[in-house]
Amino acid sequence: MALDFVGATDEHIRALNKVELHVHVEGAATPATVAELARRNGVDLGVAEPDDLYEFADLTDFLRVYDLVCRCLRTADDFRLVTYEALTIAYAAGVVYREMFFSPTFAMRYGVAFDTIWDGIRTGIRDAQTDHGITCRMILDIDKPSGPAAAAELVEFAASCDRDVLIGIGGDAGERGVDLAALAAPFAGARRLGFRTTMHLGEEGPVDDIRVGVDVLGVERVDHGFSLVDDADLVRRFADERIPITACPTSNRCIGLIESVADHPLLRLRDEGVLVTLNSDNAAMFRIDLADELVNVRDAFGCTLADLEDLALAGIEASWLDESTQRSTRRDFLTAMDRLRSERGLAPRPGGNA
């Protein structure tokens, strides 16, 4: 790919309309917010400076810190605060629509009721939409290592939530040693209830986990999907069936899965026809937002403005918006892209607004 940054300035990238599909509400709590919540709720963070909290050796170490952050969340207002903060970060990055994960198992381990968590989250979503105009829908992530019984219990909790806000069931936490096939029943139950499904797969686990996810669990989207490149046949299937991958290259670098963003296979997968989207994963914990992630990809791969616009448009197709809303959102994005180019004296998008 030619190194052509013409028009793809940091400012222009931030001004692009965006959709984000892989980000965790708990991971968007800033160090200052975590420090205040820890003080309020009597949690020892174990660091002298809050900024020192977000340093990770690997995925296991990251999950340890993630658990510590969740330990600081006790009340509905705590969850409202971090939800509002997460969406404020997204708004500043140009995100207009987000599908965001929450992981209730972490807080529930410390005695927080599911209803407390959900009340805070939906209030934070409402407040952010009022103040910023950003639209957010939620995905409940089951804790994969906790097994099928715990997953089924969370799906049951999900059934009572506002279905215009909670639209999907996902799965996160560690990948090693997890019997993924055992989660087939609760995921089938989620689909019977009308939920969309996705799962974190192929981040540190093998490509076979991705195959189990789509063939046995029936997930419609794969989060991370880093190891997909290890199976050429599966890559072709993902391309043919338009199964989306929600890639998070900076996240993968921060926990040591790759040396640099340039080592991430996202463009290799895209060039093979896979529907790849770009996401920040845990914005505050990795010190980025989605605009920063696009800049990191630009710098790593020499992406043109058109490449980055295409990544922004891919988020629409990969989303769980209905087809009519996807079409209208795409039209709005293309119109805004043309306006930004015109305001900056740039040529129209190659190929027009197709």
Q: Which segments in the chain show pLDDT lower than 50?
A: 1-4
Secondary structure class of 102 (helix, strand, coil)? strand
**Residue among 174, 88, 70, 180 at smallest CA distance from 130:** 88
Tell me the two tokens of residue 225. 């999907």
Q: Do residues 111 and 41 lie in contact, with contact meaning Cβ atoms separated by under 8 Å?
A: no
Tell me the two tokens of residue 310. 């295409």
Supply the pLDDT for residue 6: 59
Supply the pLDDT for residue 190: 97
Supply the pLDDT for residue 152: 97
Q: 204 an active-site residue?
A: no
Buried b (16+ CB within 10 A) or exposed e, 228-246: bbebeebbebbbeeebbbb
Supply the pLDDT for residue 22: 97
Q: Do residues 289 and 280 lie in contact, with contact meaning Cβ atoms separated by under 8 Å?
A: yes
Say what angle helices 76-92 and 114-132 make with each other, to 10 degrees: 40
User: In degrees rounded to 5, what are phi and psi of residue 199?
Assistant: -160, 145
Supply the pLDDT for residue 209: 95
Q: Do residues 198 and 170 lie in contact, with contact meaning Cβ atoms separated by under 8 Å?
A: yes
Supply the pLDDT for residue 2: 37
Distance CA 194, CA 37 (A): 35
Supply the pLDDT for residue 4: 43
| Residues forming beta bridges with residue 137, ordered by sequence position | 99
Burial environment of residue 126 by CB neighbours within 10 A (0 to 12, 13 to 18, 19 or more): middle
- Give, as one character, the DSSP assignment of residue 204: S
User: In degrees rounded to 5, what are phi and psi of residue 143?
Assistant: -90, 105
Q: Is the pTM of this model over 0.85?
A: yes
Catalytic residue among 26, 85, 175, 203: 203
In the chain the domains, ranked by start, together with CATH numbers, are 10-343 (3.20.20.140)
